[in-house]
């Protein structure tokens, strides 16, 4: 059994334009995130916990976008668009795993900023290398058992109707619409995942930043306030871009018009956000720019 990813079939005249555009975006994502990852590993000035998590985040963005973009490029180039049941399940599994990891890792990065600004004297002790490794490994692995169960439940359903998935990749909501059996358990698992791995991390991030902003406003000098805000604003922008577009996409009304707008929103949080993230971090971070200049000079 196989499905058909409709993707950009509604605009065939833009096929090669979109192929070139997404190819350029993919190259930018690989180069920019790869550069930040390498700089964080080789430059002595970028060995703090903040850059450790930034390196992990850059690696995650490369993995996350590689789940969807190569397949989209192949579909645009060949116009075949068929995807086997196993390939669809594999793509969905890695998509939800990396999406879960991104939510958790953004929460971990917010906690790192909270400790650095609200408890600076205890920061080296609290965020030691062992703790950083545990937090990073936890963010990458904690959602795997739950997501395995979710994918198993979805692909245990019977798909006896249309095989056309009105999306660019195998995502959970459009696939559940094609199921003929009872989807109650799968839908409940989807809601539980949304609460545990999206809503709770987002609330933790908001709680961390409410404490951070309160602490920053109490700093005696304007220079200290500006520096602290500059350190946190990049991460906060990334959080709002990712959670905002993903939340709107999954909570949109279920009608035909919203399906098309949902596909555009999914492009934003799966492709455009990973492209913008390195620009947000590097262009606003003097340490990263300095490390890049040193590498280029060498």
Residues in Cβ contact with 153 at an 8 Å cutoff, skipping those fewer than 6 apart: 185, 186, 189
Q: What is the residue extent of each domain of the chain?
A: 2-297
**Predicted pLDDT of residue 257:** 46
Q: Which two tokens stand for residue 36?
A: 């930040």
**Dist CA 39 CA 291 (whole Å):** 7
Distance (Å) of CA 280 to CA 54, 100, 136, 140, 284: 12, 21, 21, 23, 6
Decide: 53 and 111 in contact? Cβ < 8 Å. Answer: no
Q: Which two tokens stand for residue 241?
A: 């871009």
Decide: 108 and 53 in contact? Cβ < 8 Å. Answer: yes
**Dist CA 169 CA 70 (whole Å):** 11
The helix (run of H) or strand (run of E) holding residue 84 is strand 82-84
Q: What is the pLDDT along the chain (298 residues), one digit of tens a residue?
A: 789 998 888 788 888 999 999 999 999 999 999 999 999 888 888 888 989 999 999 999 999 999 999 999 999 988 888 999 999 999 999 999 999 999 999 999 999 989 988 888 899 999 999 999 999 999 999 999 999 999 999 999 888 878 899 888 998 888 888 888 888 898 888 888 888 888 899 999 999 988 988 888 887 777 767 766 776 777 778 888 888 777 776 655 555 446 666 677 788 788 888 888 888 777 667 788 888 888 888 7
- Superfamily per CATH, domain 2-297: Rhodopsin 7-helix transmembrane proteins (1.20.1070.10)
Residue 2 bridge partners (DSSP):
84
**Predicted pLDDT of residue 204:** 92
Residue 155 φ then ψ, to 5°: -85, 5
For CA atoms 73, 74, 79, 80, the dihedral sign is: negative
User: Among candidates 132, 254, 275, 141, which has minimal Cα distance to 197?
Assistant: 141
Helices vs strands, H then E, count in the chain: 13, 3
User: Among candidates 100, 114, 283, which has minimal Cα distance to 199?
Assistant: 100
Residue 84 bridge partners (DSSP):
2
**Predicted pLDDT of residue 250:** 63
């Amino acid at each position: 059994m196989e499905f058909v990813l409709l993707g950009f079939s509604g605009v065939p005249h833009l096929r090669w334009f979109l192929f070139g555009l997404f190819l350029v975006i993919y190259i930018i994502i690989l180069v920019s995130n790869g550069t930040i990852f390498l700089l964080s590993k080789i430059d002595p000035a970028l060995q703090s916990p903040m850059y450790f998590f930034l390196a992990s985040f850059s690696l995650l963005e490369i993995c996350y976008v590689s789940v969807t973009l190569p397949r989209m490029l192949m579909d645009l180039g060949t116009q075949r668009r068929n995807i086997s049941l196993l390939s669809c399940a594999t793509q969905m599994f890695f998509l939800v795993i990396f999406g879960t990891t991104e939510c958790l890792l953004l929460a971990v990065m917010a906690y790192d900023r909270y400790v650095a600004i609200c408890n600076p004297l205890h920061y080296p002790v609290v965020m030691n290398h062992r703790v950083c490794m545990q937090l990073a490994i936890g963010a990458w692995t904690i959602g795997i058992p739950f997501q395995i169960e979710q994918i198993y439940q979805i692909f245990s359903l019977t798909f006896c109707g249309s095989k056309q998935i009105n999306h660019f990749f195998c995502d959970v909501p459009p696939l559940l619409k094609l199921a003929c059996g009872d989807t109650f358990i799968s839908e409940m698992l989807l809601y539980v995942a949304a609460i545990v791995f999206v809503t709770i991390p987002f609330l933790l991030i908001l709680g961390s930043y409410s404490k951070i902003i309160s602490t920053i406003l109490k700093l005696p000098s304007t220079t200290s306030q500006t520096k602290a805000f500059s350190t946190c604003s990049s991460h906060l922008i990334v959080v709002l871009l990712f959670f905002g577009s993903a939340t709107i996409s999954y909570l949109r009304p279920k009608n035909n018009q919203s399906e098309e707008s949902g596909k555009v929103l999914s492009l934003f949080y799966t492709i455009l956000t990973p492209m913008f993230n390195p620009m947000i971090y590097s262009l606003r971070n003097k340490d990263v720019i300095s490390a890049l200049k040193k590498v280029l000079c060498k």
